[in-house]
Amino acid sequence: MIKSFLILIIFSTFLSAAQQIILVVSKDFNTSSAKMECFEGADIICESFDVNIGQKGLGWGLGEIQLKKNAGDAIKYEGDKKAPIGVFKLSSVFAYSKSNNFNMPYLHASKKLICVDDSNSKKYNKIIPMPKKKPQSFEYMKRDDLQYELGIVVEHNQNAIAGRGSCIFIHVQKAESAGTAGCTSMKLDHLKKIVSWLDEKKNPILIQIPESSSAEVLELYPELKNSTLLKNQ
């Protein structure tokens, strides 16, 4: 009886520990469009749909895991209009609304909240309340449009290495097929479903790659074997 009880606890813990993965795959380094799928463990939570990435495609970013890159591959830098390649923690959700019922840390995107993109600032790549002395370069988290009406913070360049890119989010698209300044964007309806699903207890991550990195990602994350986006070359 005791043995059976312990097995049940271990099995239940294993099930509850399934990681949430948002997978974004583009055809190559240069396209501004990609496909997205969502997984919880090996379970597909949402079938693939179209998203937008950087206007100038992808560049290698700074994430949780160092994936293999080739000499001559594009590297992500500040202002290059490339979205970062890599595996990134998803740390929080933000929105224009003051209230929320998400299972993620929440940031109220008010006009007093900014993200600093000044590489020379000590607050580079940080989301902070507007200080008395404004940084030389920053963006408001509450914009005049609705692109930040709802979004997810992607922990790219967590060590704030100067010039390597800042303020990377998953957010509402400007328009269909409109590339971004470096983020990943989609229709609001899709984003609402994803944000409602995310749970900080399940260690959510973004894996964003060109198709050429599929085999490596499948080796690192075998639970993604049912993905329709990863091409095991």
Weakest mean pLDDT among 3-12, 53-62, 133-142, 164-173: 3-12
Q: Residue 232's pLDDT band (boundaries 50, 70, 90)?
A: low
Q: Where do the DSSP E strands lie in the chain? A: 20-26, 33-40, 43-52, 58-60, 83-95, 106-108, 113-116, 127-129, 138-140, 150-154, 169-172, 184-186, 205-210
Read off the pTM.
Answer: 0.91
Q: What is the pLDDT of residues 12-55, one digit of tens each?
A: 333 446 999 999 999 999 999 999 999 999 999 999 999 999 99
SS3 for 107?
Answer: strand
Weakest mean pLDDT among 98-102, 111-115, 190-194, 208-212: 98-102
CA distances from 230 to 129, 134, 191 (A): 40, 43, 22
* Candidate ranges 4-8, 65-69, 190-194; pick with highest mean pLDDT: 190-194
Q: What is the pLDDT of residues 183-222, one digit of tens each?
A: 999 999 999 999 999 999 999 999 999 999 999 999 999 9
